[in-house]
Structure 1
């Protein structure tokens, strides 16, 4: 009967299949490094690097950062990958504990996995990425020996069920905006949605960058580009007077997925050297991706830290807001 280690391994294989894996920015097409291994090769190297010295491994540093970034989006893929790359060193010990202490092997493995996940959650802040893997392993080893000595059930697999649950939409946590009028207090969802879009458009018009937004909207209308909104979410947002329900997008879709550390530090109001020091000390308030000798910062993570709302908007509302903010010069497209 398959245990939790087998479930983790099969789940990861199902996710990645035979395609290439990018640990730097998550998307092979967007990564500056063009050669990427398949998952079996990637995993083999990660296992070797972890055994040799995880604290000095850039691969493990990137893996931990990618896991943190995915967690912020409610995506547990890379957390699962990290467990899958740690599991090989768990297998031998769990088998020995089970044999020597006459404890069910599946119970030991479930306890080790749950404990590793607890450490993952506890090290979100204040622990440099290079130390996370070793802390997860040490804690899992400790609980395995305690389970063996006590021979009683002290842990459950409840914490790992989240890996196998259907994805839940995060729209409730992102549909917020800062303004004199609190959009969250508006009872009419259609009106609140319209206001969010118009505010975003007005802001972009104020920043004098709406020409770039028009180009983005043209790509959406022509089908050359799509927003990241799922069809399920679109169905909940559709209004009778919009031009096309496929023209919804997150505000963050307009920006690049990643920016350099220098740019991110500027947004935060600190120097790049200060940002590097925070990364080294494990005190940067959001994870970063390491690409070679440089760092890339997720724009979504930066927006979350800066409390910038990543609202779902429609091109009609955005263009209408820009139209009014610009003094009514020209008729916004998509509104008839």
Structure 2
């Protein structure tokens, strides 16, 4: 009978299939390292590295970073990957305890997964990424023995949907100071949508980055690239989309590189790169840091969350109108 271990394995296989997987930046196409294993090969290596010594494994350091990065987006994919690479060492123990202590095996395995997830949540800060995997395993083992000794078969959640816990992040606009108009006070959705785009365009114009806008917008219009809003823009009820191509909506983060180096990220946060490295090793760096060779890559979207910069949805026409107005040509 399938249990939560099986559900996790099937779900991850459904997500990745036979495609290459990137543990450096999460996207094979964007990664500077060109050789990537399939998920099956990656999983085998991760399981082996975890058993040998997860605390000294660069692979597990990167796996943990990818999990934290996905958490920021309310995405459980890499949390599932982490569990899928841990639960093989749960199988034999859970079977043995279930048989010897007459505890329902499915309940026992669900409790072990739930305990591992509790450790994951509680170690988001203040714990070195290299120790998190071992803490999750130890806590799950302790839980299994406690249930066995108590011959307890409490009803626990055993559906993989427990892993889907989207988080929300408050995004107070840092752009309000540039205008006396508070967008949150505007009741007309059309006007608010237009002003958001125009304000972004004006800022890019003021800071001399209109070349970035022109190049990105040209790609959107000729179909050589697409905004990350994509199909959602056509179904999300943007009230003005009927007067212009809905495919021309995009997130502000689409204008930036997906990842930057640790030195650049540290400068934005206001610390030295050496201090940032120490914080990463201590598990106290405020952003997920993914290993890429000897260095680290930091997600720009995660950096925007940290700086409370809203990843606003805008339309090409509005952004260009704002830039044109700020240039004094309108």
> 1:104-152: per-residue Cα shift (whole Å, max 9, x none)?
0000000000111111111111111101101110110111111111122
Deviations, residues 71-126 of structure 1 (Å, cap 9, x unaligned): 11111111000000001100011001101101000000000001111111111111
* 2-structure distance, mates of 1:42, 1:120: 21
Give the whole-Å Cα distance in 1 for the aligned partners of 2:319 and 2:142: 55
Note the alpha carbon deviations across 1:138-184, whole angstroms, 9 max, x for none: 1101111111111224562278424469xx897x9669563043322
Alpha-carbon distance between aligned partners in 2 of 1:131 and 1:64, rounded to the nearest angstrom:
10
Report the equivalent of 1:74. 74
Contact 1:176 1:310 in 2 (8 A): no
Which TM-score applies when normalising by structure 2? 0.93
Shift, 1:242, TM fit:
4.3
Q: Which residue number corresponds to residue 290 of structure 2? A: 289
Aligned-residue offset at 1:292: 1.1
Structure 2: distance between partners of 1:155 and 1:132: 27
After TM superposition, the structure 1 = structure 2 runs for residues 96-245 of structure 1, keeping only pairs within 5 Å, are 96-154=96-154, 156-157=156-157, 160-163=160-163, 176=173, 178-179=175-176, 180-235=180-235, 236-239=237-240, 242-245=243-246
**Aligned to 2:314, what secondary structure does the other structure show?**
strand
Gaps of 5+ in 1: 330-336
Aligned to 1:333: none
Which residue does 1:260 correspond to in 2? 261
Between 1 and 2, higher relative CO (CA 8 Å, sep ≥ 6) is seen in: 2
Q: Tell me how far apart the structure 2 counterparts of residues 64 and 181 of structure 1 sit (CA, whole Å).
A: 42
Equivalent position of 1:65 in the other structure: 65
Q: SS of 1:282's equivalent?
A: coil
Quickly say closer, same or farther: Cα 1:128–1:317, change in 2 above 3 A: same
Quickly say closer, same or farther: Cα 1:241–1:232, change in 2 above 3 A: closer
**Any idea what SS the aligned residue of 1:7 has?**
helix
Q: CA RMSD in A?
A: 2.0
Cα separation, 2, equivalents of 1:20 and 1:112: 29
TM-fit CA distance, 1:186: 2.2
- With normalisation by structure 1, the TM-score equals 0.92
Conserved in 2, the CA contact under 8 Å of 1:110 and 1:155?
no
